Amino acid sequence: MRRKLVVANWKMHGSRARNRQLLDAVKPPLQSLAGRVDIAVCPAHLHLGETVAALAGSNIRPGAQNLYGLAEGAMTGETSASMLVDCGAEFVILGHSERRGHLGETDAEVADKFAAARESGLIPILCVGETRAERDAGETEAVVSRQLDAVTEKTGMEAMRGAVIAYEPVWAIGSGTPATPEQAQAVHAMLRERLARRSEEIAGGVRILYGGSMNAANAAELFAQPDIDGGLVGGASLKAEEFITICTSAGS
């Protein structure tokens, strides 16, 4: 039985004051979900330290939104996995479509980042997903398989043990139109089946989150699908009531 996981992706939003306000609002109600649903919040790197401090003693775990795939070195402006761990991060989002699409992040770079996360003890949240054009061309399976295989082929299946995948159709992110539960379930089941070809046991433990316009109104229906193990939530995670409702749906 996979416990559901809800991850807030704050993206490049927030300020020290706004983050504090948001966490003050969500921490007490979410405390009642301890032991029933796992919850994480991923702020911008600059806000990680204060977020970690604000989450101390709560059941919400801190994460980051990216890392650079080298242990350390001459790489101006970048942040390594070990730095994130040192600052208290437990999770890291990798290969988000905004990074793949706008910043040219490649499958190979995402695989390097995944390996670096694992080596440092971070739990990677590997984002995969197709664009609208790719879906319309019937390429969804090929695209997400390519994105997943780039990681498993580099790191081996053992590195997927306890890892998290987020299926985020690019056309659903920030659009207000999520995938239907059936569309999402079909891709989630396909991803799990692909992992199971390498190891059924490991595949059974990988949590596959759905991301893309998840909100308080649609979360329960998505969570009811057998292979949807939680959510990666963007816009709605910035609104306390929405995020509380989403986490509550995951825990019931």
Burial tier of 200 (Cβ tally within 10 Å: 0-12, 13-18, 19+): exposed
Q: How many CB atoms lie within 10 A of CB 12?
A: 8
Residue 95 C-beta-side C-alpha neighbours within 13 Å = 30
Nearer to ligand PEP, 117 or 209 (CB): 209
- Helix, strand, coil shares of the chain as percentages rounded to 5? 50, 15, 35
Catalytic annotation present for 168 = yes
Q: Is the distance from CB of 205 to CB of 2 less than 8 angstroms?
A: yes
CB of 100: closest distance to ligand PEP in angstroms?
Answer: 12
Instruction: Pick one of 124, 211, 230, 251: the residue that binds ligand PEP (CB under 6 A).
Output: 211
Nearer to ligand PEP, 68 or 171 (CB): 171
Stretch that binds ligand PEP, among 84-92, 108-116, 151-159, 228-236 (CB under 6 A): 228-236
Burial tier of 78 (Cβ tally within 10 Å: 0-12, 13-18, 19+): middle
- Indicate whether 212 belongs to the interface with ligand PEP (CB under 6 A): yes
Catalytic annotation present for 96 = yes
Convert residues 111-150 into a mask of x (bound to ligand PEP by CB under 6 A) and - (unbound): ----------------------------------------
Nearer to ligand PEP, 69 or 95 (CB): 95
Q: Are strands 5-9 and 123-128 parallel, antiparallel or unpaired?
A: unpaired
Q: List interacting residues with ligand PEP (CB under 6 A).
A: 9, 168, 173-174, 211-214, 232-236
